[in-house]
Amino acid sequence: MGSPIASIVSVGISKFGVREGLYTRELFAEAAREAFDRCPNLNPKRDVQGLFVGMMSESYEHQAHVAPLFLDWIGLLPIPAFRTEGACASSSVALRVALFSIASGMYDVVLVGGVEKMTHLSTTGVTEILAMASDFPFEQWHGISFPGIFGMMAVDHMHRYGTTEEQLAKVAVKNHEHGVLNPKAHFQKRIRVEDVLSSTPVAWPLKLYDCCPRSDGAACLVITSPKVARKFTDTPVDIVGSGQAQDTLGLFERDNFSGMKVTRLAAQQAYKMANVKPEDIDVAEVHDCFTIAEIMAYEDLGFCGPGEGGKLIDEGVTQLGGKIPVNTSGGLKAKGHPVGATGAAQACEIYLQLTNQADRRQVSGAEVGLTENVGGSASTGVVHIYRRGD
């Protein structure tokens, strides 16, 4: 396996869901506090040298220039702070930029995080802000939003491969099952295939229960150079692979709607860097903003061949107890999707799994993990690979 780029020594996650009366700064502080408390050997004021935070939009709170604001609220002024934006992949991009800073030797210890506060706005208001991650004159202006975009992807996948609405529904059922086991998850209830199929149509074939909720939440990771990780914990998780790719902003410019090119390319980079293959992955968190996105992720990550994602969910391969448990946290579908926080939260779940701290959703013997996070209609794609520290 490849050499570690950096190590995760602690993580923290706020409760995801409807967090009334709180600002993003308070959610971020909640996650950072948990990360600091989990690592008693860390003195944040002395040890942390920089902050990298992902947040999609200042429109939710009419608040830009958030990096120094968050630093202030966690007591780490005046160290450098950087905000990254990659739509729903914003904090995965933050993690990747943080890796650059560690690998360059510029810093030895940094804090990486992501946050978004969405639920105080109406569905219409949130939809309008999220749509800003699509092409304005050719998609937004014509009224198409992301449920419609991913609905078209689902139709193409069904046409090409025979994927069924029942298979999409099984993704939602699985992730709700996992979400029940995660006390930080937005949704804490089980659902049935019939519940998904009978839920309100949103953008055929996607129904209400095929779609992730709008959520509030934050997640943070303390990242160090591998050489100093043991100063802070006996159980670091090494990041051994990282990849990122971009595609056209508009779905209409692509040759193929039934897959995510950015996931394939980013995964190839990450697998090569980590010197692993898809079959080496023990647990994964993937971007299930809509149920079709998880099925496409199975294929684009190489967990199965093109068009075989539906078969994977039918056979229970990706549920807890299966060969490759996917979205043990509940995924975006049940854990929630505060968009800027999602990539960091995925990494937090893998850290908990690889350090045997995932409680009722623990994957036995997990040693190698993967996260896949996309932005917009998969115009940005980021994949990271992790292994339990030696």
Q: Decide which of 236, 267, 286 is a domain's last residue.
A: 236
Query: Are residues 65 and 170 both part of a single domain?
Result: no
- What is the pLDDT, as a whole number, of residue 148? 94
The yes-or-no verdict on residue 208 having pLDDT over 90 is yes
The answer to the question of residue 331 being in a domain is yes
pLDDT digits (tens, 9 = 90+) for 14-53: 999 999 999 999 999 999 999 999 999 999 999 999 999 9
Query: If pLDDT is split at 50, 70 and 90, which confidence band does 140 have?
Result: confident
Here the tokens at position 9 are 């020594």
Give domain status of residue 174, yes or no.
Answer: yes
Q: Give the pLDDT confidence of 309-346 residue by residue, as tens digits.
A: 999 999 999 999 999 999 999 999 999 999 999 999 99
Q: Are residues 282 and 141 in the same domain?
A: yes
Q: Are residues 32 and 143 both part of a single domain?
A: no
Are 354 and 346 in contact, with CB atoms under 8 Å apart? no
**Res. 171 pLDDT band, cuts 50 70 90:** very high
User: For the residues of 242-264, what is the DSSP string, one character each?
Assistant: EEEEE--SSGGG-S-SSS-HHHH
Q: What is the pLDDT of residues 268-279, one digit of tens each?
A: 999 999 999 999
pLDDT value of position 143: 86
**What domain range includes position 311?**
134-213+238-388
Token code pair at residue 306: 């093109």
Radius of gyration of the chain (CA): 19
Asked if residue 127 belongs to a domain, the reply is no
* Cβ 218 vs Cβ 361: under 8 Å: no
Domain presence at residue 128: no
- Does the pTM of the predicted model rise above 0.95? yes
Judged against a pLDDT cut of 90, whether residue 2 lies above it is answered with: no
pLDDT of residue 3: 93
The CATH number assigned to the domain holding 312 equals 3.40.47.10
Question: Mean pLDDT over residues 282-290, rounded?
Answer: 98
145 and 288 inside one domain: yes
Average pLDDT, rounded, for the chain: 97
* DSSP designation for 225: -
Active site amino acids: 88, 337
Pick the last residue of a domain from 203, 236, 269.
236
- The answer to whether position 262 is within a domain reads yes
Averaged pLDDT for residues 188-214: 97
pLDDT at site 96: 98
pLDDT, residue 1, reads: 79
The structural domain count of the chain equals 2
SS3 380: strand
In angstroms, the CA 41 to CA 233 distance is 7
- Are the beta carbons of 134 and 146 closer than 8 angstroms? yes
Pick from 104, 365, 347: nearest CA to 238: 347
Q: Using 50, 70 and 90 to split pLDDT, how confident is the model at 199?
A: very high
Is the pLDDT reported for residue 390 higher than 80?
Answer: no
Q: Is the pLDDT of residue 62 over 90?
A: yes
Q: Per-residue pLDDT for 306 more than 80?
A: yes
